[in-house]
Amino acid sequence: MATHRQENALTFKAGRMYRDGETNWVRPDLRKGECQMTFIGSGAVRLRWTQDQSTVASGEEPTRPAQEEFVFFSGDAVAEKVTQSEGRVYVIKSKSTSTRLFFWLQSSDADMDYQIEDAINAHLLDDADRITDDSEDDEDDEELREALALSRQTGEQLAVVRETPDLRASMLPTAQVGGNRGGNDVVVPPSNGGMDQLRQILSSFQVPEITRGGKSRLAVQLGDVLTPEHLAPVLADPEVRRALLPTLPENIPRSSARDLENIVRSPQFQQALAALSYLLEDGQIAAVVSQLGLDPQASTSVAAFLEAVGRQVAKEKSKDEDDDATMQE
């Protein structure tokens, strides 16, 4: 293994969680461990999880790897808290593949979890302003370039998921380069012993049924927010209707509150909301979202998109107020 600039590395205590077979259940692995995220050049960050050797249960067959490595290209993945779990569970989602890595944070101070989340996301985004990366031409970099070239060849922008060579036999038989294998987290039989105890602290949670596209069904849907009931009072405002006018085709009635109500109640609008929810959750329309001037986070989920719109409006408002204040002076 090559050496890396330690000041760029992020280290935090965390355990792994694995999907239970082909089910939608993700269960905690009891072992303690540590995650380290390191920039390795070519716009990629490596996440290495290492098990804390002291926690290996004696006599237990180690069915899962003691170390795992995953490589993400900058901006391709995002970490977020798993709201379905009561525990301190986080998922790192790749936008371009269906890779989902689950971790449970094990540091003593749970109040710091959100800071860890922010730090993970900063590393996944490879914030160039904060972290300089003098490209190290080490073997990993070489390997990574090959993988990158390969993924470009196949016309896919992929996160590379690969393991350290010594563990190759034991895990991820087909996921060296994560494609759309669909719903593939690391699939390893659940461990035994001590499980009950941990379950008290960290209950298993059910992840969304993953469709073939790897989408989540648990997420917020646009259709739950942009309901005709929520929209009716908004559409009563002529100012709002004026702003909506250019977004609608000219050959249909679109100016009265009644016209707009017909549109937001139409099956076509409902279908579009479902499709857009799917694309947002899948991180597939990042380019379109960024054209709207929203921050990159907005293209990671429906909730993130809507929250980013909220922030954008709030920011514009406060700017207007500032401008007004300046004018007054």
Partner 1 sequence: MSNENGNWCLIESDPGVFTELIHNMGVRDVQVEELYSLDSDTLRSMEPVFGLIFLFKWQGAALQSGAKQNAGQVVDNNDVFFAQQIIQNACATQAILSILLNRESEIELGETLTNFRSFASDLPPDMRGLALTNCDQIREVHNSFVRPESFLTDPDEPKRPAGEDDDLYHFISYVPVNGRLYELDGLRRGPVDHGKSADWLERVGEVIQQRMGEYKEGEIRFNLMAVIGDRRKKLTEQISGVDRDISVLMAELEKLRLEDSKDLGDVESRIAGLNSERAELEHLVDLENGKFARYQFDNALRKLNFIPFVYQLARAMAEKGVLEPAVDKAKEKARNQPRRQQRPAM
Between residue 246 and residue 285, which ones bind partner 1 under the rule CB under 8 A? 246-249, 251-253, 262-264, 266, 268-269, 271-279, 284-285
Query: In the set 149, 169, 287, 327, which binds partner 1 (CB under 8 A)?
Result: 287
Q: Is the dihedral of CA 50, 53, 57, 62 positive or negative?
A: positive
Burial (Cβ within 10 Å: 0-12, 13-18, ≥19) of residue 231: middle
Q: How far is the CB of 144 from partner 1 (least distance, A)?
A: 18
Query: In the set 194, 310, 322, 323, which binds partner 1 (CB under 8 A)?
Result: 310
Q: How far is the CB of 124 from partner 1 (least distance, A)?
A: 17
Residue with Cβ nearer partner 1 (230 or 319): 230
Residue with Cβ nearer partner 1 (94 or 191): 94
Q: How far is the CB of 208 from partner 1 (least distance, A)?
A: 8
Interface with partner 1 includes 102 (CB under 8 A)?
no
Interface with partner 1 includes 233 (CB under 8 A)?
yes
Cα 228 → chain centroid: 29
Q: How far is the CB of 158 from partner 1 (least distance, A)?
A: 8
Q: Scanning residues 39 to 98, which ones bind partner 1 (CB under 8 A)?
A: 83-84, 96
Residue with Cβ nearer partner 1 (168 or 265): 265
Query: In the set 168, 230, 265, 319, which binds partner 1 (CB under 8 A)?
Result: 230
Query: In the set 156, 176, 190, 228, which binds partner 1 (CB under 8 A)?
Result: 156
Q: Scanning residues 1 to 20, which ones bind partner 1 (CB under 8 A)?
A: none
Q: Is the dihedral of CA 112, 110, 304, 319 positive or negative?
A: negative
Among the residue ranges 8-16, 46-54, 187-195, 312-320, the one whose residues contact partner 1 (CB under 8 A): 312-320
Residue with Cβ nearer partner 1 (46 or 241): 241
Residue with Cβ nearer partner 1 (164 or 297): 297
Cα dihedral value 89, 90, 94, 98, nearest 10: 10
Phi-psi region of 193 (alpha: psi -120 to 50; beta: other; left: phi over 0): left
Nearest CA among 215, 214, 99, 103 for reference residue 160: 99
Interface with partner 1 includes 225 (CB under 8 A)?
yes
Residues 266, 2: Cα–Cα separation, whole Å:
58
Cβ atoms within 10 Å, residue 142: 13
Interface with partner 1 includes 27 (CB under 8 A)?
no
Nearest-5° Cα angle at 68, 166 to 18: 130
Q: How far is the CB of 210 from partner 1 (least distance, A)?
A: 12
For the chain, what is the radius of gyration of the CA atoms?
23
3-state DSSP call for residue 173? coil
3-state DSSP call for residue 124? helix
Interface with partner 1 includes 209 (CB under 8 A)?
yes
Residue with Cβ nearer partner 1 (195 or 218): 218
Residue with Cβ nearer partner 1 (176 or 211): 211
The encoded tokens of residue 244 equal: 């909506």
The encoded tokens of residue 234 equal: 């908004």
Residues 136, 116: Cα–Cα separation, whole Å:
26
Interface with partner 1 includes 178 (CB under 8 A)?
no
Residues 202, 138: Cα–Cα separation, whole Å:
39
Interface with partner 1 includes 323 (CB under 8 A)?
no
